[in-house]
Amino acid sequence: MAAGLRVKNAAGVYQIDETYVNFVFISKASSTTNTLAINDLYYRDISVSGRTAPILAVKSASAHAIYGGQVSGDTWTWRVLMQGNGTAFDYYVFDLAPVDTTAGPGLRVYNAAGDPVYSSNQNPLRIAPGTLVSNGLWPSADLTTFGAGRTWAALQIGWGFGESEINDISGERENWYGGAFTTSDGLGYDHLTYAKIGSGYGFIASETTAVFLAVDVTHY
């Protein structure tokens, strides 16, 4: 960099420079599940239009998973999967920073082409260090603390599901998707069970890991 501006955090990661566009907060809304998926799992499709590369973070005391997504034209749709019909959740949309034309004090950073890549008038996507991953067998046992006194939402970056054998002789088993719920100081992991024969828990027959990032949405 011959000339310009770079701001980095304590970990040495550049948070602001003249090259990369920051993701920023676009909108927030509340919703509930309303469509049956399988057994006691329900979903709600969340759509946004006119965005560049949006991502979705979800806040709920009940476990959720993003069960797929699609793009049609300029409309982006995510399927939020949860246990039970009418289960409530909040969702936050982030996207590449749109052009900020707000007048007044603040800081605006441009790239070499003269396009704005950062504005202090826009709320950035704030991701906490560390991740929450599914621990497989024991639901609700995996809790990750990111900081008290903040509001957290979960950003799913890895889809997970699994099967445990409760009794391999009688065929008792549980099938689940990996889900995350939000707490007062972080995230927790839980199963979204879509099939279960028998009771209790058994050994894991197969599993892929669900991965979530914690997004700080305090005051958003």
Q: What is the pLDDT of residues 63-121, one digit of tens each?
A: 999 988 899 999 999 999 999 999 999 999 999 877 776 777 888 887 777 777 788 88
Share of the chain above pLDDT 70, in %: 79
Lowest mean pLDDT of 29-33, 40-44, 129-133, name the range.
129-133
pLDDT greater than 90 at residue 209: no
* Prediction pTM value: 0.84
pLDDT greater than 70 at residue 133: no
Mean pLDDT of the chain: 81
Read off the pLDDT of residues 54-77 as tens digits, 9 standing for 90 and up. Answer: 999 999 999 999 988 899 999 999
Q: What is the pLDDT of residue 143?
A: 67
Contact 90, 59 (CB under 8 A): yes
pLDDT greater than 80 at residue 212: yes
The CA distance from 143 to 14, in Å, is: 29
Read off the pLDDT of residues 135-171 as tens digits, 9 standing for 90 and up. Answer: 554 444 466 778 888 999 999 988 877 666 555 555 5
Contact 32, 86 (CB under 8 A): yes
